[in-house]
A and B are shown apart, each in its own frame.
Chain A
Amino acid sequence: AQSVTQPDIHITVSEGASLELRCNYSYGATPYLFWYVQSPGQGLQLLLKYFSGDTLVQGIKGFEAEFKRSQSSFNLRKPSVHWSDAAEYFCAVGAMEYGNKLVFGAGTILRVKS
């Protein structure tokens, strides 16, 4: 069965510090990988996606993610966090073999200290 694990429920970083949010997936197929961000009271917004090709993907707001097939991971990174990045972040995985639905992780809540 498909599953997505985000091992960190909460992460707190200082403004200006670097950030890495972890995502591990369990899929028997070639995955399509996504990171979404949700601000309080809002819907989910896509940060970046990986389908194929270069395993380092650039997204909006200065975020990037790296696909590592050997580790079944797709970790999200940002070199310098801004206070406005405080939100909840969701990793999602899909595969054509399972239709076009996505499986979402439980989310990681990011807090930014000033």
Chain B
Amino acid sequence: DAGVIQSPRHEVTEMGQEVTLRCKPISGHNSLFWYRQTMMRGLELLIYFNNNVPIDDSGMPEDRFSAKMPNASFSTLKIQPSEPRDSAVYFCASSFRLAGGLDEQFFGPGTRLTVL
């Protein structure tokens, strides 16, 4: 299995530009998570989906951030407009939610975003 795939691996953009991060979860997984990691705030959960439906987006910082999961194989995290404080590593993770249970999350390699 290829694992969780994220693209791009690195993104450098200018303030005000739109940024789209992409994620392909592990085939067969039914939950998908977007995290942001910074030195100051550590690893933060932004949003997660079960069966392509957003369940908890309480971690999304503001309206500039949006996430979609149009099908079981693809998700995007969009920032519009981007700001320098959005600079971070963004991770996507997926898991298979067991009925009546909870299982480990498999992480992608991350996208390092730099907003100038």
Interface residues of A (CB under 8 A from B): 32, 34, 36, 42-46, 49, 51, 90, 94-96, 99-104, 106-107
Contact = CB atoms under 8 A, between A and B. Distances in A.
B116 interface: no
Contact of A99 (B55, B101, B109): B55
B109 A90 contact: no
Contact of B56 (A45, A46, A101): A101
A36 B50 CA distance: 22
| Residue among A100, A106, A107 facing the most chain B CB atoms (10 A cut-off) | A100
B interface residue count range (under 10 / 10 to 19 / 20 to 34 / 35 or more): 20 to 34
B31 interface: yes
Which 10 A/B pairs are nearest by Cβ-Cβ distance? Answer: A43-B107, A44-B107, A104-B43, A100-B102, A106-B42, A100-B97, A43-B109, A32-B102, A46-B104, A94-B102
| Residue among B50, B56, B91, B102 facing the most chain A CB atoms (10 A cut-off) | B102
B101 A101 contact: no
B104 A42 contact: no
Nearest to A104: B43
| Residue among B4, B43, B93 facing the most chain A CB atoms (10 A cut-off) | B43
B93 to A, nearest CB: 8
B31 A100 contact: yes
Contacts of A94: 102
A101 B104 contact: no
Interface in B83-113: 91, 93, 95, 97, 100-110
A42 B102 CA distance: 24
A74 to B, nearest CB: 14
B29 to A, nearest CB: 11
A99 B91 contact: no
A42 B104 CA distance: 17
Given A100-B48, A104-B42, A104-B43, 16 more contacts: A32-B102, A43-B4, A43-B110, A44-B91, A45-B107, A51-B102, A95-B102, A96-B102, A99-B48, A99-B50, A100-B31, A100-B50, A100-B102, A101-B48, A102-B105, A106-B42
